[in-house]
Amino acid sequence: SNFDPISKVWKGSNLPTILNPEANLGHAILSALQCAPNKVTQISDNSGVELTCREMRLRSIRVAQNLKKFGYKKDDIICLATRNNENTAPIVFGCFLIGAPISTLAPTYNEADMAHMINLTKPKLIFCENDNLERIQSAVKQAEIKSKIFVFGNRKGFVESAEIFLGETKMETQFIPEYLGESKDLLAVIVCSSGTTGLPKGVCLSHSQLISHNSRCVPVSMPEVWLSYSTLYWVSGLQCLLNGTLNGVRRIITNEDFSAEKVLQMIGKYSVTHLFTPPYQLSQIVQNSYLEEADLKSLRMYICGGSPVPDFYRDKMNKYLPNGRIFTAYGTSEVMPGITFDFIYNKKGSVGNLMPNASIKIVDEDGNNLGKGKTGEIYAKHLYMFLGYYKNDEMTKDALDSEGFFKTGDIGHFDSDGCLFIVDRKKEILKYDNYQISPSELECLIMELPGVRLAAVVGVPDIVHTDLPAAAVVKAPESNITAEEIVDHVNSNVSDYKRLRGPVLFFDELPLTESGKLKRNQIKSVGNPDFFTYELLQKSLIHWKIYFILHIIL
Which CATH number characterizes residue 279's domain? 3.40.50.12780
User: What is the number of structural domains in the chain?
Assistant: 3
pLDDT for 534 beyond 50: no
Final residue of a domain: which of 427, 444, 469? 427
Output the pLDDT for position 434: 62
Q: Quick check: is 77 in a domain?
A: yes
pLDDT for 529 beyond 70: no
Q: Could you tell me if 75 and 154 lie in one domain?
A: yes
CA atoms within 13 A on the CB side of 337: 25
Q: Quick check: is 363 in a domain?
A: yes
Final residue of a domain: which of 427, 452, 474? 427
Output the pLDDT for position 467: 84
Q: Quick check: is 247 in a domain?
A: no
Output the pLDDT for position 512: 79
Give the model's confidence band at 407: pLDDT under 50 very low, under 70 low, under 90 confident, else very high. very high
pLDDT for 522 beyond 80: no
Q: Quick check: is 550 in a domain?
A: no
The average confidence (pLDDT) of the chain is 88
What does each C-alpha distance from 85 to 64, 231, 255, 256 come to in angstroms?
18, 10, 6, 9
What does each C-alpha distance from 496 to 431, 433, 491 come to in angstroms?
13, 11, 7
pLDDT tens per residue, range 266-279: 999 999 999 999 88
Q: CB under 8 Å to 510, separation ≥6 — which residues?
A: 454, 456, 472, 474, 518, 523, 526
Give the model's confidence band at 241: pLDDT under 50 very low, under 70 low, under 90 confident, else very high. very high
pLDDT for 156 beyond 80: no
Q: Quick check: is 229 in a domain?
A: no
Final residue of a domain: which of 216, 247, 275? 216
Q: Could you tell me if 459 and 388 lie in one domain?
A: no
Kindly tell me the number of DSSP H helices and DSSP E strands found in the chain: 15, 28
CB distance 26 to 93 below 8 Å: yes
Interval 412-431 mean pLDDT: 86
Give the model's confidence band at 541: pLDDT under 50 very low, under 70 low, under 90 confident, else very high. very low
Q: Could you tell me if 478 and 365 lie in one domain?
A: no
For the chain, the C-alpha Rg in angstroms (whole number) is 24
Output the pLDDT for position 105: 93
Q: Could you tell me if 56 and 12 lie in one domain?
A: no
Interval 197-219 mean pLDDT: 80
Output the pLDDT for position 514: 66
Q: Could you tell me if 86 and 177 lie in one domain?
A: yes
Interval 101-116 mean pLDDT: 89
Q: At what angle do helices 25-35 and 88-98 cross, to 10 degrees?
A: 130
Task: Indicate the pairing of strand 102-104 with strand 187-192.
Answer: parallel
Give the model's confidence band at 216: pLDDT under 50 very low, under 70 low, under 90 confident, else very high. low
Output the pLDDT for position 219: 47
pLDDT tens per residue, range 447-461: 989 899 999 998 888
pLDDT tens per residue, range 457-506: 988 887 777 789 999 999 998 899 999 999 999 999 888 888 999 999 99
Task: Indicate the pairing of strand 78-80 with strand 125-128.
Answer: parallel
Of 535, 421, 553, 548, give the one whose Cα is nearest residue 496.
548
Which domain covers residue 536, as residue numbers?
Answer: 430-545
Q: Could you tell me if 309 and 377 lie in one domain?
A: yes
Give the model's confidence band at 536: pLDDT under 50 very low, under 70 low, under 90 confident, else very high. very low
Interval 509-521 mean pLDDT: 75
Q: CB under 8 Å to 233, separation ≥6 — which residues?
A: 104, 105, 106, 107, 191, 192, 514, 515
Q: Could you tell me if 379 and 504 lie in one domain?
A: no
How many other β-carbons are positioned within 10 Å of the β-carbon of residue 366? 6
Q: Could you tell me if 95 and 118 lie in one domain?
A: yes
How many other β-carbons are positioned within 10 Å of the β-carbon of residue 495? 9
pLDDT for 531 beyond 50: no
How far apart, in whole angstroms, are the C-alpha atoms of residue 191 and residue 348?
31
Put simply, whether the predicted model's pTM sits higher than 0.85 gets the answer: no
- We report the CATH number of the domain holding residue 503 as 3.30.300.30
Q: Could you tell me if 421 and 437 lie in one domain?
A: no
Q: Could you tell me if 271 and 411 lie in one domain?
A: yes
Per-residue DSSP letters for 151-198?
ESSS-BTTBEEGGGGGS--S-GGG--PPP-S-GGG-EEEEEEP--SSS
Q: At what angle do helices 483-491 and 439-447 cross, to 10 degrees?
A: 120
Interval 260-288 mean pLDDT: 93
Output the pLDDT for position 320: 97
What is the enclosing helix (H) or strand (E) of 9? strand 9-11
Output the pLDDT for position 365: 86
Interval 348-377 mean pLDDT: 92
Interval 185-200 mean pLDDT: 78
Q: Could you tell me if 415 and 320 lie in one domain?
A: yes
pLDDT tens per residue, range 52-70: 999 999 999 999 999 999 9
Output the pLDDT for position 554: 42
Least confident interval from 11-15, 399-403, 541-545? 541-545
Q: Quick check: is 271 in a domain?
A: yes
Output the pLDDT for position 548: 46
Interval 242-253 mean pLDDT: 94
Q: Quick check: is 195 in a domain?
A: yes
Q: Could you tell me if 278 and 391 lie in one domain?
A: yes
pLDDT for 539 beyond 60: no
pLDDT tens per residue, range 306-328: 777 888 889 999 999 999 999 99
Output the pLDDT for position 483: 94
How far apart, in whole angstroms, are the C-alpha atoms of residue 106 and residue 103?
10
Share of the chain above pLDDT 70, in %: 91
pLDDT for 124 beyond 60: yes
Q: Quick check: is 228 in a domain?
A: no
Per-residue DSSP letters for 107-163?
TT--HHHHHHHHHHH--SEEEE-GGGHHHHHHHHHHHT---EEEESSS-BTTBEEGG
